[in-house]
Amino acid sequence: MRIKYILILNSIILFSACATKPIMYDSFKPGEIWLDNNGVHVNAHGGGILFDDGRYYWFGEHKTEGENGNFANVGVHCYSSRDLYNWTDEGIALAVMPDSSGSDIEKGCILERPKVIKNNKTGQYVMWFHLEPKGKGYKGALSGVAVSDNITGPYTYIKSVRPNAGHFPFNVLDIHYGDSPSLGQRFDGGSLPGNIDTLNILGRDMKGGQMARDMTLFADDDGKAYHIYSSEENSTLHIAELSDDYLSHTGKYGRFFPGRFMEAPAIFKRNNKYYLMMSGCTGWAPNQARSAVSDGIFGEWKELGDPCIGDSMHTTFHSQSTFILPVQGKKETYIYMGDRWTPQNAIDGRYVWLPVRFEEDRFFIEWKDQWNWENRDN
Ligand code: DGJ
């Protein structure tokens, strides 16, 4: 009798658990597990957001379990939301190709920091991402592009390139026309001399195209779009104009912050000024953020220092920038989106979203355990 009673009680508990509606969030909890409509932790790392027809669409790297999960085993995941707290799984927007298919985006490649913008002339959604062909580590330094007529995909992979082959930037220096290091020479952030231009990595890569790793996209109010990426062995940021269809580079580009080794660029525009947030180069480990402001997309860019304030500010609150989102219909509301990487178990990576606050021409980010539109204090 007692056993029968326990079984009935168990099934009542189980039934009520199954019947429970998915969690409805009404705040952001930076760094915590964030469940989607199916009760699964959101899987969209190194991502960015596009607002389209009343909804936000979050695109990011789909990670899998373990260390191997840092490679692209699945593709680019897409989620949608109306309120930014609650996210609906829209599936894989760009799928990697099967093992041994020989495709540039074959399963096991490195596909990072996907960003999507809409081209209002063609009506197409255009995705760019950092691509490293399978089995070659980070030596490729390529940018891939894919398109779709539907925002959630499926996206069709077009090509991957080293941007701006055959073109010098508009702010080229005399030294870039001179000698350059051999293609086989390896560099890393710790072994480069203070004056990066003495190495002429730019000139070395002029013919074949410039290296492009961490990246973002920016579509300006006039319809022009830009690809912003860490170049020249990660030492220098390039900002490059995209063609009218957003599918290639025009050859017009500038180099900024030479020798500052900036990764993880995130850009936004406010009151006709352009702002950048970036990290240093320490792999998956977090480091101190940098920020910069400019009156135009092509400069003069002026560094503003670390925008983070408070405990753990020196590690960007244990995160790395990926995007800064202007919130629709809310004046002066921008969200810092960062990744808290867990490379030993990639799928467990967390998201650190915090409100951006402004003081004159500078922006700041402060830690909050939990926040929403009502209590963001700015
Ligand atoms: C730092 C970059 O920001 C990430 O996107 C990723 O490429 C890691 N490095 C890999 O170590």
> Which one-letter DSSP state was computed for residue 370?
S
Q: Hey, whose CA ends up nearest to atom 9 of ligand 1?
A: 283
Structure tokens, 17 = 């658990």
* Sign of torsion over alpha carbons 241, 141, 255, 324: positive
pLDDT, tens only, 45-78: 999 999 999 999 999 999 999 999 999 999 999 9
184 alpha carbon to ligand 1 midpoint, in Å? Answer: 22
283 lines ligand 1 (CB under 6 A): yes
Q: Which atom of ligand 1 is nearest to the CA of 281?
A: 1
Residue type at position 305 = G
Phi/psi region, residue 91 (left: phi>0; alpha: psi -120 to 50; beta: rest), is left
Q: Which residue has the tokens 């969030």?
A: 25
Query: Is 274 within 8 Å of 267 (Cβ atoms)?
Result: yes
Find out whether 92 and 301 touch, Cβ atoms under 8 Å: no
CATH homologous superfamily of 262-378 equals Glycosyl hydrolase domain; family 43 (2.115.10.20)
Residue 356 near residue 371 (C-beta atoms within 8 A): no
How many CA atoms are closer than 13 Å to the CA of 345, on its beta-carbon side? 2
Is ligand 1 within 6 A of the CB of residue 310? no
d(CA 268, CA 190): 30
Among residues of the chain, what percentage have pLDDT more than 90?
83
Question: Relative to the CA of 110, which ligand 1 atom is closest?
Answer: 7
Can the peptide bond before residue 300 be classed as cis, meaning omega within 30 degrees of 0? yes
CA of residue 149 to ligand 1 center, whole Å: 30
Q: Is the CB of 112 under 6 A from ligand 1?
A: yes
How high is the pLDDT of residue 343?
98
| Distance in Å, CA 108 to ligand 1 centroid | 16
Ligand 1 centroid from CA 284, angstroms: 6
Sequence ranges of the domains in the chain: 262-378
Tell me: the pLDDT tens digits for 303-336?
Answer: 999 999 987 779 999 999 999 999 998 888 999 9
Question: Is residue 93's pLDDT more than 90?
Answer: yes
The pair of three-digit structure tokens given for residue 360, joined into one six-digit string: 């004159």
pLDDT, tens digit, 9 for 90 and up, residues 166-211: 999 999 999 999 877 765 666 655 556 667 777 899 999 999 999 9
